[in-house]
Amino acid sequence: MLRTDLIASVPALLRRHAQTRGDRIAYSDAGSSITYGRLCATTGNLAGHLQDLGVGPGDRVGLLLPNGVAWIQACLATLRAGAISVPISDDATEPEVAYRLADAGCGIVVTTDGRAGLVRRAAGGRALRLILVDRGEARQDGLRLSDLAGTAPPRAPRDPDAITDPSFIIYTSGTTGRAKGVLLSQHGMLWVAAACWAPIAGLSGDDVVLSPLPLFHSYALNLSVLGVLAVGASEHLCERFSTQETLRLLAQERFTLLPGVPTMFHYLARAAPPAVAGFPGLRVCISAGAIMPATLNRAFEARFGVPLLDGYGITETSTMVTMNWPTGGRVPGSCGLPVPGLAVRIVDPVESRDLPAGQEGELIVRGPNLMAGYHGKPAETAAVLRDGWYHTGDLARSDPNGFLTITGRLKELIIRGGQNIAPAEIEEAAGLFEGVGDCAVVGVPHADLGEVPVLFVAIKEGSALDPRALLAHCRTRLSAYKVPDAVHVVDEIPRTGSGKIMRFRLREHLGRLAAGSA
């Protein structure tokens, strides 16, 4: 049943909950908490001040913050000002921040004192206003979020009712070139809450959610920010995932729902003491972001006695495409049934004809949660949005009952512990290192993380190369999860006549290395 009452503008949802549950804790973190009543007031103040700073409809505001209450305030206030929120990983390197600020055209960035210098360098001399969040660091010049949120602005927030216009630019790793900014609307994101989180996972105003997910990801933005807001639930935000901290918090018995990625649930099952047989109060866990192995799903549920519902989603569809239900049967290894209201097809990747159940093909999707496109990239948008269908680039098959199983990727995306990695981004960074003549990246299986990137390098003629120094160079230009797990030196990178990397040849090379060491 579609919960149409949840599909409303962020200002309308805030006012609704401020009136009906104003004293209820909306979001909390390790050092602070905020009620729905206070959240409605502070985001209104902050939105009005953003407008006073010149933020107009459709302008972009960057968020470079750790998970926490301040992140929520900055994001929701941006929407109330009619602007577009641009979340950026708090762990992003200077080149990654520079690209996103320039590509999105951010004029204001909300960040911490500790990251202010990096943001100013990343701006490259462009005019940029900073709004700073206090975290006990040496104070930098800039406006303070706490001051703006705590004082009445000269004018009321814009509070637009339109929810189909772009409200977010979420950067996702592509398979070629630089990261792409996915344009998502409040309507598309909240439609997922109304069609999936509420009716399938049972998310409601009675829930107390424990979220260790990074908020700059579409999965967390959809469930941990907007889904929680839509139903009026309460949520505790972990700054980052910690196995021991998550186990400690779950033992408090107050949390009812835990979202995560497969790697998190693997770590929890492995680290929980034998005496911990379950988590009183926890009614359901949700996994997305990467494929959930059937063995892990069964082992987790058997160990802790709580349903672990996994699904398949992508940023371009405002997250969820399929989901397993808590009732009825489940197919081991399957990512579940299509979310009600979505149309999905499995087609021949070359001929685009529909394939029968059991045959592998490309999964394509149509529905109200599709992105508007890639920001500033019409050619890339046209390549994947065709005749109203989003071509995912993922290979899948269905069984006669409609359960979908993801079997591989047409794209070369690497998914490490739920984090998407584009090989091209690593290759670009590694190619800047002295001595690298050519390079390529492939994903290889990893017991805990699912996949990790491995870098192959052909050394420039007449040069020498230290793999450890190359990895150190990568760490200065890439987020930690993108840094290759290993470097292998080869005579040449295998390529097709048109210059495309034959990654399967590199995987074969790894197989020979493994066989030789056995």
H/E/C letters for each residue in 272-301?
A: CCCCCCCCCCCCEEEECCCCCCHHHHHHHH
Same domain for 285 and 364? Answer: no
CA 27 to chain centre: 19
pLDDT of residue 273 exceeding 80, the answer is yes
Same domain for 433 and 399? Answer: no
Q: How far apart are the C-alpha atoms of 383 and 391, rounded to whole Å?
A: 8
Q: Which helix (H) or strand (E) holds 514?
A: helix 503-517
Please state the rounded mean pLDDT for residues 286-296.
86
Residue 460 has what DSSP assignment? P
User: Do the domain assignments include residue 328?
Assistant: no
**Of 320, 346, 378, which one is at a domain's C-terminal end?**
320
Whole-number average pLDDT of the chain = 93
Same domain for 79 and 116? Answer: yes
Indicate the range of 85-94, 341-350, 423-432 predicted with least confidence.
423-432
Number of domains within the chain: 3
User: Do the domain assignments include residue 30?
Assistant: yes
pLDDT digits (tens, 9 = 90+) for 216-228: 999 999 999 999 9
Same domain for 165 and 37? Answer: yes
pLDDT digits (tens, 9 = 90+) for 163-188: 999 999 999 864 445 789 999 999 99
User: Do the domain assignments include residue 70?
Assistant: yes
| Of residues 202 and 289, more confidently modeled | 202
pLDDT digits (tens, 9 = 90+) for 29-63: 999 999 999 999 999 999 999 999 999 999 999 99
Same domain for 309 and 432? Answer: no
Same domain for 159 and 293? Answer: yes
Same domain for 52 and 105? Answer: yes
User: Do the domain assignments include residue 439?
Assistant: yes
Same domain for 153 and 192? Answer: yes
Domain range enclosing 446? 421-517
User: Do the domain assignments include residue 492?
Assistant: yes
In this structure, the chain runs to a length of 518
**Of 367, 382, 410, which one is at a domain's C-terminal end?**
410
Which CATH number do you get for residue 345? 2.30.38.10
Same domain for 391 and 252? Answer: no
Same domain for 106 and 217? Answer: yes
**Of 410, 432, 467, which one is at a domain's C-terminal end?**
410
Please state the rounded mean pLDDT for residues 461-490.
94
Which CATH number do you get for residue 222? 3.40.50.12780
Please state the rounded mean pLDDT for residues 239-259.
95
User: Do the domain assignments include residue 326?
Assistant: no
Q: 428 pLDDT band (50/70/90 cuts)?
A: confident
Q: Which two tokens stand for residue 500?
A: 């495309």
Residue 139 has what DSSP assignment? P
Please state the rounded mean pLDDT for residues 193-217.
97
User: Do the domain assignments include residue 235?
Assistant: yes
Q: Judge residue 276's burial from the number of C-beta atoms within 10 Å of its C-beta, 0-12 exposed, 13-18 middle, 19 or more buried.
A: middle
Which CATH number do you get for residue 492? 3.30.300.30
Buried residues in 303-317 as b, exposed as e (16+ CB within 10 A): bbebbbbbbbbbbbb
pLDDT at 175: 42
Please state the rounded mean pLDDT for residues 199-203.
97
pLDDT of residue 501 exceeding 90, the answer is no
User: Do the domain assignments include residue 496?
Assistant: yes
Reduced to 3 states, what is the DSSP secondary structure of residue 250?
A: helix
Same domain for 130 and 153? Answer: yes
Please state the rounded mean pLDDT for residues 430-439.
91
Same domain for 8 and 70? Answer: yes
